[in-house]
């Protein structure tokens, strides 16, 4: 068994209780952190090569160092609006091992000088929020939250905010607007949240998994963290495997674990021993890969090299029985539905793409539709306020480029290439 | 100052400005919908995308601040392609109902599509339709034409702070809706949203289906409603080619910006004041002596004869331009007549008081600067000759009473006004005055800014400027302004020096 950093419930199923968590070394990281100065913590996180687990893989320590120094209200926000199709990892950290997130929040808050933290949880996860709230209450009782934490003079209050179900609130500035009570529409950047965030104050937003890595990095040191995973992509990663596999689920594995190992060993291989057709390696926004990529190490840099991305680490496996057109029409609909409607290319482009794909899927596709789709992709890419437009393009363009023949077949024969197809989404 | 390169040419620009602002300064046009100089930056239309060297993707000119050494391209292939893409997206759900759209002819969507795209839409799906609604007594909303630039939403939340409009729903289903029609009815600045709408989504009920804008002539003028001196466009019906007889009727007033004044909007009171000037029934069309129409020549010689007295008075008007007033002043000075000024009519300010002043006359400040005595200081009212300048609009009621008694008591009284009023009815001779768009005239607003209102149409009927009736030897209005500025303010001033934004005293 590999190193367990986040899924401590695999060691002790009752780790969601604070006593059990403390027994496993919980809140030791916080004690150590409070004895260090904030810059040392940031330095340690930088040294650990911890990168954002939400999708972009931005170095966490570097992000923290963008926060202005000195007095003044600052906020530390946890992005628990886990909405990327295929992704279901953060909810298990929160429901099974919530104290690790709470501890990470306090350490992060201390490092960046924030006295208030928010955990923005997607609306559908109300039951998860209850577990996290219980953990927060326990932490307050034990003096790990509130005024003068562990007699260090550091104050930190932690609140849960439930979203209302919009994917776009997973984008950090959309999340900030939603947190403020406004509609969840992303803001123009610059200014970045580190200058102008929640209520106009400097803010850092990190993903649940990222923050949950922090306590162990502090407790056991960056050098320990560096021993896990390949260079520059250190640590463990939770892979959420779904689709046509025998054993779908979440697996905490070292970064760089080969895709083949994840699918065939951990997820039990493909249903019915079928052949692999396609695999989305990092949530729906990551361009789709094919069987030739099975030996790729699952980490940020390796996936980038093949033109995809690790994203949230959500692996969607599609067997040979998948109709790609059907699968990606469903995803196109998702993006069209979740576009916030603020900026033109995404607002108008995503539903247009969906309509064309639906037409192809329904057997009404026209000659030239595929090129039209690619042209729309080109007109959206890089021209929107936030990355939702780009994500939609990466998803759809990736599928068209890899499986263009299947789209053309649909248009020409007005039917699917695959007999007895198995739906994926 | 920093140096930036725009389209391979170097410019010295101020730090902190955005690319769009800088480009505008140098006359480089960057198309945009959501940007408005008086509103916050939304960056949502994506029309102003420009190429910045070293940046991986095109940047929005409205939100990107210039930095030293920045190289910007506003017309490169990348930019052209981006604009074309954005325009195609904007037009996807648009009804393209230009023939029945009141914005047609001055619509940014029409202009930009024609200039930057001009391609056939590749969209083949049914368009989403909403009903046109009258969201207020004054304004209608056609959500189908909306490009969701949110200028109107931002105007009502940032300028008037009344929040009547908002966007609802998400994605392509997003539309603008009015959450409080009653508040919008009572908002004294609400009609500005029809001006700032770059397309035909918001319009004035009053102007709906009224006039094709290309059959109007835009006259840049100064609003006559109060002493704020707002810059306006007066749209005058101009269908000479069709000869259907509605020429020179004012069809609407809308905003002309004056950055020097910080004025980007006008109040609804000023906007709807144009109806007063369309009253042709009451217009003084020819000189009228004791109820008899006389010729202009007769009027001129009659004034010359009647003003040949020792005890005369000239009462100027805050409702008239510098030029008209100063002609009367020079006439009085030559003859040693008394000169007085009436007080302006006052009206309580609305809340919030934006681009509006308490004093309801455009040129109150001029008469104040001349330090003329008020009409209340007139001691003996039985003059041998009295001349009063009046205009559309009101003066203070106390002044009114005083002036009326002067006119009644004087041996021979003359009133110069465009629309017959109580003053004209009590005068011996009424002279047909032009209305403000028929002549060049300057006004000094409450903030001491001298601004010019332009002549847009011919003198109607037999109306003439006052210096013509008084037979003062001037060739143009401009000369009168120069004399006034020299004598009263000790500065050299002409129309050229006023520029488009006016001259600050």
Of B82, B92, B167, the CB nearest to A383: B82
- Domain borders along chain B are 2-90, 288-504
How far, in Å, CA of B267 to CA of B358, rounded? 13
| pLDDT score for B240 | 64
Q: Does A339 touch chain B (CB under 8 A)?
A: yes
Q: Does A378 touch chain B (CB under 8 A)?
A: yes
Query: How far apart are the CA of A191 and the nearest CA of chain B, in angstroms?
Result: 10
| pLDDT score for A99 | 97
**Helices then strands, each counted (H, E), chain A:** 17, 8
| pLDDT score for B351 | 80
Spans of chain A below 70 pLDDT = 1
Q: Does A17 touch chain B (CB under 8 A)?
A: no
B444-468 pLDDT per residue, tens? 999 999 999 999 888 988 999 999 9
How far, in Å, CA of B169 to CA of B175, rounded? 7
pTM equals 0.93
How far, in Å, CA of A378 to CA of B57, rounded? 12
Chain B, nearest residue to A337 by Cα: B171
Q: Does B173 touch chain A (CB under 8 A)?
A: yes
Annotation: CATH topology of B288-504: Rossmann fold (3.40.50)
> Is B85 in contact with A336 (Cβ distance < 8 A)?
no
Is residue A265 classed as helix, strand or coil in its secondary structure? helix
Cα-based torsion angle of the residue sequence B231, B235, B238, B244 in order, rounded to the nearest 10 degrees: -150
| pLDDT score for B241 | 54
A177-187 pLDDT per residue, tens? 999 999 999 99
Of A183, A379, A385, the CB nearest to B89: A379
Inter-axis angle of helices A208-220 and A28-35, nearest 10: 70
A286-308 pLDDT per residue, tens? 999 999 999 999 999 999 999 99
Cα B459 off chain centre by? 20
Q: Which residue has the tokens 């923005």?
A: A120
| pLDDT score for B440 | 94
How far, in Å, CA of B160 to CA of B140, rounded? 19
Secondary structure E strands in A81-197:
116-121, 157-162
| pLDDT score for B246 | 62
Q: Does A414 touch chain B (CB under 8 A)?
A: no
Evaluate whether B2-90 and B288-504 have a shared fold: no
Cβ density class B42-61: b for 16+ within 10 Å, e for less? bbbbbbbbbbbeeeeebbbb
Spans of chain B below 50 pLDDT = none
Of B88, B89, B172, the CB nearest to A341: B172
| A204 and A76 Cβ atoms separated by less than 8 Å | yes
| pLDDT score for B238 | 81
On whether ipTM exceeds 0.85, the answer is yes
Chain A, nearest residue to B79 by Cα: A383
Considering only CA atoms, which of A3, A398, A374, A340 is closest in space to residue B148?
Answer: A340
| pLDDT score for B225 | 93
Phi first, then psi: give them for residue A126, nearest 5 degrees.
-60, -40
Q: Does B92 touch chain A (CB under 8 A)?
A: yes
Annotation: CATH topology of B2-90: Ubiquitin-like (UB roll) (3.10.20)
């Amino acid at each position: 068994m590999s190193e367990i950093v986040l899924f401590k419930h695999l060691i002790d199923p009752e780790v969601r209780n604070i006593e059990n968590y403390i027994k496993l070394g919980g809140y030791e990281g916080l004690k150590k952190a409070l004895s260090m100065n904030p810059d040392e913590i940031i330095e340690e996180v930088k040294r650990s090569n911890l990168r954002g687990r939400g999708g972009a893989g931005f170095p966490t320590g570097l992000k923290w160092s963008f926060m202005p120094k000195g007095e003044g209200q600052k906020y530390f926000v946890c992005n628990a609006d886990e909405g990327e199709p295929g992704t279901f990892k953060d909810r298990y950290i929160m429901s099974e091992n919530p104290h690790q997130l709470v501890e990470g929040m306090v350490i992060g808050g201390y490092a960046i000088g924030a006295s208030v933290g928010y955990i923005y949880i997607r609306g559908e996860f109300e039951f998860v929020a209850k577990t996290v709230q219980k953990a927060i209450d326990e932490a307050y009782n034990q003096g790990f939250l509130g005024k003068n934490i562990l007699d260090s003079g550091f104050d930190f209050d932690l609140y849960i905010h439930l979203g209302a179900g919009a994917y776009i609130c997973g984008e950090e500035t959309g999340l900030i607007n939603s947190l403020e009570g406004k509609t969840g529409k992303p803001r123009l950047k610059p200014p970045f949240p580190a200058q102008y965030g929640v209520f106009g104050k400097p803010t850092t937003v990190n993903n649940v998994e990222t923050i949950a890595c922090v306590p162990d990095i502090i407790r056991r040191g960056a050098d320990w963290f560096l021993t896990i995973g390949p260079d520059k992509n250190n640590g463990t990663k939770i892979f959420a495997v779904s689709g046509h596999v025998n054993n779908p689920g979440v697996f905490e594995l070292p970064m760089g674990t080969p895709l083949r190992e994840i699918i065939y060993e951990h997820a039990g291989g493909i249903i019915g021993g079928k052949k692999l057709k396609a695999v989305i390696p990092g949530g729906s926004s990551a361009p789709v890969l094919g069987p030739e990529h099975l030996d790729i190490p699952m980490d940020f840099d390796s996936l980038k090299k093949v033109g995809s991305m690790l994203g949230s680490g959500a692996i969607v496996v599609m067997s040979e029985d998948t109709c790609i057109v059907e699968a990606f029409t469903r995803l196109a609909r998702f993006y069209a539905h979740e576009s916030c409607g603020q900026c033109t290319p995404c607002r108008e482009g995503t539903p247009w793409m969906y309509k064309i794909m639906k037409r192809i899927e329904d057997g009404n596709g026209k000659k030239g539709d595929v090129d039209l789709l690619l042209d729309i992709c080109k007109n959206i890419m890089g021209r929107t306020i936030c990355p939702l437009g780009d994500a939609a393009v990466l998803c759809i363009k990736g599928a068209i480029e890899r499986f263009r023949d299947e789209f053309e077949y649909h248009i020409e024969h007005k039917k699917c290439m695959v007999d007895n197809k198995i739906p994926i989404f | 100052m920093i140096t930036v390169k725009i389209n391979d040419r170097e410019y010295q620009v101020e730090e902190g400005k955005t690319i769009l602002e800088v480009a505008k300064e140098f006359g480089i046009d960057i198309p945009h919908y959501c940007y408005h100089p008086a509103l916050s930056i939304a960056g949502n239309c994506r029309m102003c995308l420009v190429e910045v060297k070293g940046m991986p993707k095109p940047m929005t000119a409205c939100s990107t601040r210039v930095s030293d050494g920045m190289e910007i391209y506003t017309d490169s292939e990348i930019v052209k392609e981006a604009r074309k893409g954005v325009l195609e997206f904007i037009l996807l759900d648009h009804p393209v109902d230009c023939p029945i759209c009141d914005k047609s002819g001055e619509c940014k969507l029409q202009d930009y599509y024609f200039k930057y795209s001009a391609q056939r839409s590749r969209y083949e799906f049914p368009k989403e339709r909403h009903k046109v609604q009258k969201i207020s007594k004054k304004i209608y909303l056609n959500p189908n034409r909306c490009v969701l630039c949110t200028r109107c939403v931002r105007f009502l939340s940032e300028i008037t702070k009344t929040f009547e409009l908002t966007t609802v729903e998400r994605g392509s289903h997003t539309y603008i809706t009015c959450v409080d029609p009653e508040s919008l009815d009572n908002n004294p600045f609400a009609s500005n949203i029809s001006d700032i709408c770059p397309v035909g989504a918001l319009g004035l009920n009053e102007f709906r289906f009224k006039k094709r804008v290309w059959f109007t002539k835009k006259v840049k003028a100064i609003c006559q409603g109060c002493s704020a001196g707002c810059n306006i466009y007066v749209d005058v019906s101009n269908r000479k080619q069709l000869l259907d007889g509605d020429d020179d009727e004012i069809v609407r007033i809308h905003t002309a910006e004056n950055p020097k004044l910080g004025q980007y909007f006008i109040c609804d009171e000023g906007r709807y004041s144009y109806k007063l000037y369309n009253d042709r029934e009451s217009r003084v069309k020819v000189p009228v002596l004791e109820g008899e129409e006389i010729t202009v020549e007769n009027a001129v010689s009659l004034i010359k004869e009647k003003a040949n007295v020792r005890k005369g008075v000239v009462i100027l008007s805050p409702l008239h331009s510098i030029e008209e007033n100063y002609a009367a002043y020079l006439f009085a000075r030559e003859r040693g007549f008394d000169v007085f000024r009436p007080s302006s009519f006052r009206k309580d300010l609305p809340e919030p008081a934006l681009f509006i002043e308490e004093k309801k006359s455009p040129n109150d400040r001029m008469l104040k600067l001349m330090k003329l005595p008020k009409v209340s200081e007139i001691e003996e009212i039985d003059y041998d000759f009295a001349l009063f300048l009046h205009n559309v609009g009101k003066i203070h009621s106390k002044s009114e009473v005083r002036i009326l008694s002067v006119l009644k008591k004087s041996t021979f009284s003359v009133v110069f006004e465009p629309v017959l009023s109580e003053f004209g009815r009590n005068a011996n001779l009424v002279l047909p005055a032009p209305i403000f768009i028929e002549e060049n005239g300057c006004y000094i607003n409450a903030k001491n800014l001298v601004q010019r209102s332009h002549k847009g149409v011919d003198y109607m009927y037999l109306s003439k400027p006052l210096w013509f009736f008084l037979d003062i030897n001037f060739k143009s209005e401009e000369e009168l302004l120069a004399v006034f500025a020299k004598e009263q303010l000790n500065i050299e001033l002409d129309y050229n020096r006023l520029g488009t934004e006016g001259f600050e005293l």
